[in-house]
Amino acid sequence: MGKEEEFMIGPHKAKFSLRDPKDIIAGQKRIDKLNAMRITMTYIEIQRRKATPEQVKEIADKFLKWLEK
């Protein structure tokens, strides 16, 4: 995971967590994927349609690719 260090900055105590940037990026991509799937499910429910989890994942992937452009 990461390494936490605690030290004093003047009269204040500060705690820093050092993590690998790859872990941070991977975590953010997971969060983005879940948010895209949530948006997709809302869109499908508004249209009163049914979808399988695979269809939701496919639509969410297309949505994320569109956002990257």
* pLDDT surpasses 60 at 1: no
Residue 32 within a domain: yes
Token pair of 58, please?
Answer: 């496919």
Residue 35 within a domain: yes
Residue 53 within a domain: yes
pTM of structure: 0.62
Residue 2: pLDDT band with limits 50, 70, 90: low
Residue 8 within a domain: no
| 60 CB burial (10 A radius; 0-12, 13-18, 19+) | buried
What confidence tens digit (pLDDT) does each residue in 13-62 have? Answer: 887 777 788 888 898 999 999 999 998 899 889 999 888 888 888 988 99
Residue 15 within a domain: no
- Which amino acid, 63? F
pLDDT at 15: 78
Residue 51 within a domain: yes
Residue 61 within a domain: yes
Residue 5 within a domain: no
